[in-house]
């Protein structure tokens, strides 16, 4: 503990009081004795010097102790100050780390929000897509916005689910992404699971990957209920493990699952619509599948100032054919007629199985004369080919009624009615012929083509 050097006068004062006290108490006897001692010759001097020396020694010792205590105190204060400085430095460092972490969290939250927004809008677009083709385009665009910084290829299945073709690719090495794969060569398609390899050697499990300079790869299936719609292929030419962060991977798997679900629904819709719009026997559009096609064609014809011809086609004596050769043979004959009609018309023409043994043909941008000529050729082809076809038991002949829009009628129902009346006329006139509705005031039906 620190001793105060100012204690010396106090001590001397105390000595003085003590001497004065003794002097008063004993009537100066001690003082006289001490004076005698002081003035006594040399015999008292050593004692006085000794006492003084002791007092001085004590004083020096106290001084030394004080200085030591002060020194220690200084050291303590210095150490405390150093501790404080260190604590402050650590606190500042901590604050920096906290700020950096906070910024990182904010940044990653912003990224997450941005991606969630991208996924939400992808969902909206996917829900609004009207075909598988449109779905594929939306999927590629969305994945591109979610994974812009990687080399990516997106492959989708063809109609038969036999080949998966590259629909979109981006990134530094997009040229090296495979343009086509099949189930035998693709690990992801075979397993229906993600494939990740960062072994950076040419010893990857995936043979496709080994064919390239690829060092890290991550592929994810776009599938639903065993239907492998596509593959998302992400690659890097550097060893990079993992290629996607855990968060990114979770996100991508979620996106692929969402895509799979949308593709599955679209596939079901397409199959349902195909089933309900197509005639199962011939594969032609049925009446339901015809929908508004005729109405649209009439509208185009009016707008573009051309004619659209409609032909109603009926197999002659088909009841007799069935009765003679049996219903299955009748079916074969129906398929045969459907094939000849399809093969001998333009891609733009529409062939419909309108009912039982009746077909409809829509010929856009075709005048009545051209339609008559075309239909005459067609019935000759059917007749001649059926004679030699194993699908037919005998020659098949057709009766046809033709009407044109907008020349004869502008309404779809009225136009079909006119073509039907013309067909009835063809039957009445002896069958195996084409009759066109005559656009005269009397609405007279004439025979336009004689049987050859």
CB environment 133-153: b (16+ within 10 A), e (fewer): eebbebbbebbeebbeebbbb
Binding-site member from 315, 371, 426, 434 for ligand GTP (CB under 6 A) = 315
Query: Taking contact as CB under 6 A, which single stretch among the options 100-108, 146-154, 315-323, 412-420 is the one that binds ligand GTP?
Result: 315-323
For 164, how many CA atoms within 13 A lie in the half-sphere containing its CB?
A: 27
Contact call for residue 427 and ligand GTP (CB under 6 A): yes
Contact call for residue 137 and ligand GTP (CB under 6 A): no
Binding-site member from 197, 248, 314, 372 for ligand GTP (CB under 6 A) = 314
List the interface residues with ligand GTP, window 319-338 (CB under 6 A): 319-320, 322, 327, 330-331, 334
H helix intervals, 344-435: 368-388, 412-428
Query: What whole-number distance in Å separates Cα of residue 46 and Cα of residue 308?
Result: 151
List the interface residues with ligand GTP, window 267-306 (CB under 6 A): 281
Using the minimum distance from each CB to ligand GTP, give the nearer residue, 129 or 315.
Answer: 315
Binding-site member from 31, 59, 318, 424 for ligand GTP (CB under 6 A) = 318
CA 154 to chain centre: 10
Write 419-424 long-range contacts (CB < 8 A, 24+): 419/310, 419/311, 419/312, 419/360, 420/312, 421/445, 422/312, 423/312, 423/313, 423/314, 423/399
Q: With contact defined as beta carbons under 8 Å apart, do 395 and 409 qualify?
A: no
Q: Which residue is nearest to ligand GTP (CB)?
A: 330
Minimum Å gap between C-beta 236 and ligand GTP is: 59
Query: What whole-number distance in Å separates Cα of residue 233 and Cα of residue 150?
Result: 10
Using the minimum distance from each CB to ligand GTP, give the nearer residue, 185 or 393.
Answer: 393
Binding-site member from 25, 356, 387, 446 for ligand GTP (CB under 6 A) = 356
Using the minimum distance from each CB to ligand GTP, give the nearer residue, 272 or 281.
Answer: 281
Using the minimum distance from each CB to ligand GTP, give the nearer residue, 231 or 426.
Answer: 426
Query: Where is 181: in which H helix or E strand?
Result: strand 180-182
C-beta neighbour count of 371 within 10 angstroms = 24
Binding-site member from 316, 339, 349, 385 for ligand GTP (CB under 6 A) = 316
Contact call for residue 392 and ligand GTP (CB under 6 A): no
Using the minimum distance from each CB to ligand GTP, give the nearer residue, 293 or 322.
Answer: 322
What is the DSSP annotation of 194-211?
Answer: -EEE---SS--S-HHHHT
Interface residues with ligand GTP (CB under 6 A) are 281, 314-320, 322, 327, 330-331, 334, 356-357, 427, 431
């Amino acid at each position: 503990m620190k001793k105060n050097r100012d204690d010396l006068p106090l001590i001397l004062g105390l000595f003085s009081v003590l001497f004065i006290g003794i002097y008063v108490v004993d009537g100066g006897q001690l003082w006289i004795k001490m004076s005698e001692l002081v003035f006594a010759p040399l015999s008292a001097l050593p004692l006085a010097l000794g006492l003084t020396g002791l007092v001085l020694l004590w004083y020096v010792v106290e001084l030394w102790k004080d200085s030591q205590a002060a020194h220690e105190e200084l050291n303590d204060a210095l150490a405390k100050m150093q501790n404080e400085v260190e604590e402050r430095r650590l606190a500042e460092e901590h604050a920096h780390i906290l700020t950096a972490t906070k910024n990182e969290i904010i940044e990653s939250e912003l990224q997450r929000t941005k991606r969630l927004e991208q996924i939400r809008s992808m969902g909206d677009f996917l829900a609004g897509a009207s075909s598988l083709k449109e779905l594929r385009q939306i999927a590629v665009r969305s994945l591109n916005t979610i994974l812009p910084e990687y080399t990516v290829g997106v492959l989708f299945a063809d109609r038969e689910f036999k080949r998966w073709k590259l629909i979109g690719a981006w990134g530094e090495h997009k040229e090296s992404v495979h343009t086509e794969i099949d189930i035998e060569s693709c690990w992801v398609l075979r397993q229906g699971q993600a494939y990740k390899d960062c072994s950076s050697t040419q010893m990857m499990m995936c043979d496709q990957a080994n064919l390239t300079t690829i060092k890290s790869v991550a592929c994810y299936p776009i599938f639903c209920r065993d239907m492998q719609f596509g593959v998302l292929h992400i690659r890097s030419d550097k060893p990079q493990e993992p290629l996607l962060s855990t968060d990114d991977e979770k996100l991508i798997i979620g996106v692929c699952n969402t895509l799979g679900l949308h593709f599955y629904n679209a596939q079901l819709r397409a199959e349902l619509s195909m089933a309900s719009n197509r005639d199962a026997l011939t594969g032609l559009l049925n009446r339901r599948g015809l929908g508004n096609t005729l109405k649209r064609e009439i509208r185009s014809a009016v707008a573009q100032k051309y004619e659209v011809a409609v032909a109603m086609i009926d197999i002659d004596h088909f009841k007799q054919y069935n009765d003679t050769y049996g219903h299955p043979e009748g079916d074969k004959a129906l398929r045969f007629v459907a094939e000849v009609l399809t093969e001998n018309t333009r891609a733009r023409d529409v062939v419909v199985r309108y009912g039982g043994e009746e077909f409809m043909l829509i010929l856009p941008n075709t005048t009545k004369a051209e339609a008559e000529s075309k239909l005459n050729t067609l019935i000759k082809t059917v007749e001649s080919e059926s004679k030699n076809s194993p699908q037919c038991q005998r020659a098949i002949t057709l009766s046809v009624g033709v009407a044109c829009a907008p020349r004869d009628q502008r309404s779809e129902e009225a136009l079909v009615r006119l073509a039907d009346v013309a067909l009835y006329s063809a039957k009445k006139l002896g069958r195996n012929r084409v009759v066109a509705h005559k656009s005269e005031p009397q609405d007279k039906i004439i025979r336009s083509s004689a049987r050859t």
